[in-house]
C-alpha cells in the first residue's frame, strides 16, 4: 500500500487532497512554493487599512457539499456563517429600489410563485424560460441557450452567473452555468444559504487543514517550489526543488495541485486552460451601518457584491479585466461612490486597499472548458488537482475541494 504522498501546492485543492489522505492513514507532505499557504484563498495583514483581510471575498453556499465536508473534517465548519434561510438582499442603484430574494427550503420552487419572495417585476414564466440551461451541453454558450435580457436576467441571472463564471454570462459555458443552476436554484433554499468565513479564510479553510495534516504525522512546508518531476519509465521517481530533491519510494504518490500555468511548466504537453479572468476586490476601513445586510447584491453599478465585515466594507467585482489598468486611487474613489449609494452612507473615502488578481479563474468559455484535463496522467503515481481541472464546475472553492477529493481517491485506489 502507498504510504507517503507528496502534494505540490498548498491551495484549497492540495490541502483538501492532503486532509483526505491523512485521514485515510497516509503520511502527507505538502510543498508550497511561496512563503504563504492558501494560494488564491488566503488572509493577511494589510498595512493600508490596518486590518487583517482576505485576498478576495469568498462566498460559499450551503449546498457546497465537498467544501463543507472538508471544513467539518478539519473541525472549522462553525467558522462559515450566514443567515438561517436562503435570503439575498439586492439593491438596484439605477432605480434606487431594494428587494429580498427568499428561496423556500424544498426543491419545489414555491418562491417563484410568491411575489414577495421572487424578484420584483418578474413572473413565474420568466423562471421557467431558464430551463434549457439545466441540460445545455458544454459546447454551448449561455447566450446561445437563454435570452440574456429582461428584468429577471438583469436582477438575478446576470449577478448569479457573473459571480459563478467570472465572465460576462452570454460568453460563458452554458454547461458550467447549468451545473450552477442545478446545484443552487434547482436544489432549493437548503442548498443556497450564503456562507462566508467571517473571521478570515485562512482561519477556517487553511490553518485547520494544515493542523490536521500535521496532527496525522505529515508536514506542510513553505518556500518549497518544485522545479522538476523526474520520470523513470511510467512513474514519477524524484521531486526536484531549488536546492535539494526527494526520491520517491516505489509505493509513493504525487498530487500536483498547482495553477494551470505552473502545471504545464512541470508537465509540458499537458492540456490546460490558457486564458484567465481577473477579479477585483476593494476593502474600506469603515464600520458597516447596523442595518446593512452582511451580503448585498448590487445591480446597475460598478460594484457587484458588497460585504459587511467588522470594521470593514468590502466589494467584489468579477470579470474585472477592464479595471486592471485603472489607476488605483481613481478606482477606489469610483467604487467608494457606489458603496455610499448602496449602503446609504455619506462619507469621505476612508483607508482603502484594492486587490486585483489578474488570473483569478480560468476563462469559463466552452473553448477553455474543453481544455481542462481529468485527474489521471500518463505517470501511474501522479494525479492532478486544481480548480482548473475538469471538475464539472467553474473555478470555485467547491470545485477545488472536489478536485482534491478526486485526486486523493485515485491515490487510495492505487
Ligand atoms: C479574488 C478571488 C475571489 C474569489 N471568490 C470566490 C468565491 O467567492 N467563491 C468561490 O467558491 N471561489 C472563489 N474564488 C476561487 C477560489 O479562490 C479558487 O478556486 C481556489 O482558491 C483555487 O484553489 P487551488 O488550490 O485550486 O489553486 P491555488 O489557490 O492557486 O493554489 C495553488 C498553489 O500552488 C502553489 N504552487 C504553484 N507552483 C508551485 C510549485 N512549482 N511548487 C509548489 N507549489 C506551487 C501556489 O503558490 C499556490 O499556493 C475566488 C478567487 C479569487 C482570486
- Say what the pLDDT of residue 3 is: 87
Q: How far is the CA of 41 from the centre of ligand 1 (A)?
A: 6
- In this prediction, residue 12 carries a pLDDT of 98
The pTM score is 0.97
pLDDT at 367: 98
Q: 348 C-alpha vs ligand 1 centroid, how far in Å?
A: 34
* Chain centroid offset of residue 123 CA: 31
Residue 1: predicted pLDDT: 53
Q: Return the residue whose CA atom lies nearest to atom 5 of ligand 1.
A: 58
Q: What is the pLDDT of residue 138?
A: 87
Q: Which atom of ligand 1 is nearest to the CA of 67?
A: 11
What is the distance in A from the centroid of ligand 1 to the CA of 129? Answer: 34
Give the mutation target among 58, 372, 375 for probing the ligand 1 site: most ligand atoms within 8 A of CB: 58
Which distant-in-sequence residues (6+ apart) come within 8 Å of 278 by Cβ?
A: 319, 320, 321, 323, 324, 356, 357, 358, 359, 360
pLDDT tens across the length of the chain (414 residues): 558 999 999 999 999 999 999 999 999 999 999 999 999 999 999 999 999 999 999 999 999 999 999 999 999 999 999 999 999 999 999 998 999 999 999 999 999 999 999 999 999 999 999 999 999 998 999 999 999 999 999 999 999 999 999 999 999 999 999 999 999 989 999 999 999 998 999 999 999 999 999 999 999 999 999 999 999 999 999 999 999 999 999 999 999 999 999 999 999 999 999 999 999 999 999 999 999 999 999 999 999 999 999 999 999 999 999 999 999 999 999 999 999 999 999 999 999 999 999 999 999 999 999 999 999 999 999 999 999 999 999 999 999 999 999 999 999 999
Q: What residues are in contact with ligand 1 under a 6 Å CB criterion?
A: 8-14, 31-34, 39-41, 55-56, 58-59, 225-226, 257-259, 262, 279, 281, 357, 360-361, 386-387, 395-398, 400
Select from 259, 354, 394 the residue to mutate for testing ligand 1; criterion: most ligand atoms less than 8 Å from CB: 259
Q: Name the residue of 6, 7, 9, 239 whose CB sits within 8 Å of the most ligand 1 atoms, as the mutation to test its pocket.
A: 9
Span from the CA of 128 to the centroid of ligand 1 (angstroms) = 35
Q: 55: CA distance to ligand 1 center in Å? A: 10
Atom of ligand 1 minimally distant from the CA of 280: 1
Amino acid at each position: 500500500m502507498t504510504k507517503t504522498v507528496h502534494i505540490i501546492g498548498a491551495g484549497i485543492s492540495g490541502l483538501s487532497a492532503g486532509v483526505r489522505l491523512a485521514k485515510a492513514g497516509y503520511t502527507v507532505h505538502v510543498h508550497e512554493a511561496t512563503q504563504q499557504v492558501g494560494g488564491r484563498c488566503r488572509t493577511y495583514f494589510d498595512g493600508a487599512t490596518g486590518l487583517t483581510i482576505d485576498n478576495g471575498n469568498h462566498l460559499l453556499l450551503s449546498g457546497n457539499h465537498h467544501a463543507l465536508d472538508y471544513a467539518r473534517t478539519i473541525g472549522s465548519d462553525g467558522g462559515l456563517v450566514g443567515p438561517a434561510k436562503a435570503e439575498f438582499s439586492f439593491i438596484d442603484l439605477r432605480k434606487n429600489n431594494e428587494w429580498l430574494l427568499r428561496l423556500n427550503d424544498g426543491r419545489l420552487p414555491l418562491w417563484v410563485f410568491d411575489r414577495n419572495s421572487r424578484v420584483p417585476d418578474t413572473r413565474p414564466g420568466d423562471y421557467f424560460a431558464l430551463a434549457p440551461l439545466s441540460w445545455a451541453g458544454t459546447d454551448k454558450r449561455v447566450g446561445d441557450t437563454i435570452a440574456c435580457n429582461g428584468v429577471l436576467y438583469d436582477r438575478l441571472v446576470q449577478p448569479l452567473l457573473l459571480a459563478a463564471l467570472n465572465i460576462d454570462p452570454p460568453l460563458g459555458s452554458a454547461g458550467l452555468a447549468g451545473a450552477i443552476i442545478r446545484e443552487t436554484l434547482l436544489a432549493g433554499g437548503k442548498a443556497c444559504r450564503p456562507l462566508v468565513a467571517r473571521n478570515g479564510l485562512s482561519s477556517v479553510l487553511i490553518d485547520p487543514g494544515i493542523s490536521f495534516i500535521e496532527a496525522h504525522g505529515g508536514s506542510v512546508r513553505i518556500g518549497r517550489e518544485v522545479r522538476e518531476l523526474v520520470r523513470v519509465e511510467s512513474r514519477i521517481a524524484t521531486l526536484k526543488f531549488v536546492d535539494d530533491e526527494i526520491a520517491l519510494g516505489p509505493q509513493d504518490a504525487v498530487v500536483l495541485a498547482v495553477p494551470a500555468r505552473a502545471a504545464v511548466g512541470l508537465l509540458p504537453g499537458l492540456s490546460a486552460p490558457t486564458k484567465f479572468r481577473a477579479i477585483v476586490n476593494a476593502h474600506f476601513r469603515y464600520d458597516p451601518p447596523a442595518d446593512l445586510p452582511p451580503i448585498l447584491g448590487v445591480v446597475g453599478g460598478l460594484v457587484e457584491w458588497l460585504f459587511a465585515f467588522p470594521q470593514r466594507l468590502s466589494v467584489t467585482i468579477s470579470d474585472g479585466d477592464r479595471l486592471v489598468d485603472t489607476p488605483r486611487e481613481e478606482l477606489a474613489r469610483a467604487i467608494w461612490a457606489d458603496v455610499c449609494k448602496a449602503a446609504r452612507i455619506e462619507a469621505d473615502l476612508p483607508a482603502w486597499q484594492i486587490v486585483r488578481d489578474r488570473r483569478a479563474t480560468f476563462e469559463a468559455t466552452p473553448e477553455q472548458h474543453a481544455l481542462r484535463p481529468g485527474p489521471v496522467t500518463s505517470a501511474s503515481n501522479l494525479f492532478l488537482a486544481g480548480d482548473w481541472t475538469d471538475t464539472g464546475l467553474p473555478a470555485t472553492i467547491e470545485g477545488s475541494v472536489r478536485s482534491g477529493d478526486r485526486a486523493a481517491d485515485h491515490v487510495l485506489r492505487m
